Chains A and B, each alone.
Chain A
Amino acid sequence: MTMATVELKDVTKAYGDVGVIRGIDLSIADGEFVVFVGPSGCGKSTLLRMIAGLEEISTGDILIDGTRCNDDAPRERGIAMVFQSYALYPHKTAYGNMAFGLKLSGMGKSEIDVRIHEAARILKMEELLDRRPYQLSGGQRQRVAIGRAIVRHPKVFLFDEPLSNLDAALRVSMRREIAKLHTQLGSTMIYVTHDQVEAMTLADRIVVLNGGVVQQIGTPIELYERPRNLFVAGFIGSPKMNFIEGEITAVETDHVRFSSPDTGEVTVPMLATGATQVGSRATLGFRPEHLALGGGEFGISATVRLIERLGDQSFLELETASGQLIVARVDAAHPANLGSQLTLGCDSVRLRLFDDEGLAV
Chain B
Amino acid sequence: MSSVRKGRLFRASKARPLDALLLGGIVLVAVVSAFPLIWMVLSSFKTPAESMQVPPVWIPESVNFQAYGEVASVINAGRSFWNSAVIATTTTLGILITSLMAGYAFAKYRFRGRDLLFAAVIATMFLPPIVTLIPLYRLVGSIGLNASLAGVIVPNLANAFGVFLMRQFIAGVPDDLIDAARVDGASELRIVFTVVAPAVVPAIAALALFAFVYHWNTYLWPLTVLQGQVDSYPIVLSLSRLLSYNRGAMNTGLVMAGATMAVLPPLVMFLLLQRFFVDSIVSSGVKG
Please give the distance in Å from A270's CB to the nearest CB on chain B: 47
**In the complex, A52→B284 CA distance in Å?**
29
Complex Cα–Cα for A280 and B248 (A): 110
B128 close to A (CB within 8 Å): no
A62-70, A99-107, A219-227, A317-325: which lies at the B interface?
A99-107
Interface residues on B, range: 20 to 34
- Is A104 in contact with B184, judged by CB distance below 8 angstroms? yes
Stretch at the interface among B50-58, B172-180, B254-262: B172-180
Render A23-51 as a binary contact track against B, CB cut-off 8 A, 1 for contact: 00000000000000000000000000100
> Is A75 part of the contact surface with B, judged by Cβ < 8 Å?
yes
Inter-chain residue pair count (beta carbon < 8 A) = 66
Contact B198 A91 (CB under 8 A): yes
Task: Give Cα distance in the complex from A191 to B260, angstroms.
Answer: 64
A83 near B199 with CB under 8 A, answer no
Q: Is the CB of B195 within 8 A of A89?
A: yes
Determine if A197 is an interface residue (Cβ-Cβ < 8 Å).
no
Q: Tell me, in angstroms, the Cα distance from A80 to B174 when the chains sit together.
A: 18
Across-interface contacts of B186 in A (CB, < 8 A): 75, 100, 104
Determine if A75 and B184 form an interchain contact, defined as CB atoms under 8 angstroms apart.
yes
Any B CB within 8 A of the CB of A87? yes
Q: Which residues of A contact B181 (CB under 8 A)?
A: 89, 100
Say whether A54 contacts B183, CB under 8 Å. Answer: yes
* Contact B177 A87, beta carbon cutoff 8 Å: yes
Give the interface centre of A53, A81, A87 by most chain B CB atoms within 10 Å: A87
Q: How many whole Å from B62's CB to the nearest CB in chain A? A: 51
Judged by a CB distance under 8 angstroms, whether A260 is at the interface is: no
B288 touches A134 (CB 8 A): yes
Contact B179 A83 (CB under 8 A): yes
Q: Does A135 contact B (CB under 8 A)?
A: yes
Q: Which residues of B contact A75 (CB under 8 A)?
A: 182-186
Asked whether A134 and B185 contact (CB < 8 A) given A87-B174, A87-B177, the answer is no
User: In the bound complex, do residue B182 and residue A90 qualify as a contact, i.e. CB atoms below 8 Å apart?
Assistant: no
B190 at the binding interface (Cβ < 8 Å): yes
CB atoms of A83 and B180 under 8 A apart: yes
Q: How many residues of A contact B (CB 8 A)?
A: 28
Q: Which residues of B contact A152 (CB under 8 A)?
A: 184
Is A90 in contact with B179, judged by CB distance below 8 angstroms?
Answer: no
Distance to closest chain A CB from B279 (angstroms): 12
Does any Cβ of A come within 8 Å of B112's Cβ? no
Q: Are A90 and B183 in contact (CB under 8 A)?
A: no
Once the chains are docked, how many angstroms separate the CA of A73 from the CA of B185?
A: 8
Q: Which of B179, B182, B283, B284 has the most CB of A within 10 A?
A: B179
Given A101-B184, A105-B185, A87:B288 Cβ within 8 A: no
Residue B4 CB within 8 A of the other chain: no
Q: Which residue of A lies closest to B287 (CB)?
A: A134
Contacting residues, chain A, for B185 (C-beta < 8 A)? 74-75, 101, 104-105
The chain B residue with its CB closest to the CB of A85 is: B176
A104 and B174 contact, Cβ closer than 8 Å, known pairs A74-B182, A134-B283: no
**Given contacts A52-B183, A54-B183, are A90 and B176 in contact (CB under 8 A)?**
no
Q: Mark A256-282, 1 if CB is under 8 A from B, else 0.
A: 000000000000000000000000000
B191 to chain A, nearest CB (A): 11
The interface residues of chain B lying within 8 Å CB-to-CB of A90 are 198-199, 284
Residues 230-262 of A at the B interface (beta carbon under 8 Å): none
Give per-residue flags for B183-205: 1 if the beta carbon is below 8 A from chain A beta carbons, else 0.
11110001000010011000000
Residues of A within 8 A of B182 (CB): 53-54, 73-75
A residues neighboring B (CB under 8 Å): 49, 52-54, 73-75, 79-81, 83-85, 87-91, 100-101, 104-105, 133-135, 141, 148, 152
Extra A-B contacts (20), CB below 8 Å, given A84-B176, A87-B180: A74-B185, A75-B182, A75-B186, A80-B183, A83-B179, A85-B174, A85-B176, A87-B177, A89-B195, A89-B198, A100-B184, A101-B183, A101-B184, A104-B186, A133-B288, A134-B284, A134-B286, A141-B288, A148-B184, A152-B184
Q: What residues of chain B have their CB less than 8 Å away from a CB belonging to chain A?
A: 174, 176-177, 179-186, 190, 195, 198-199, 283-284, 286-288
Q: Can you spell out 7 A-B residue pairs with CB atoms less than 8 angstroms apart? A: A54-B182, A74-B183, A83-B179, A87-B174, A91-B198, A100-B186, A134-B288
The 7 nearest A-B residue pairs measured at CB: A101-B184, A75-B185, A87-B180, A87-B176, A91-B198, A104-B185, A134-B287
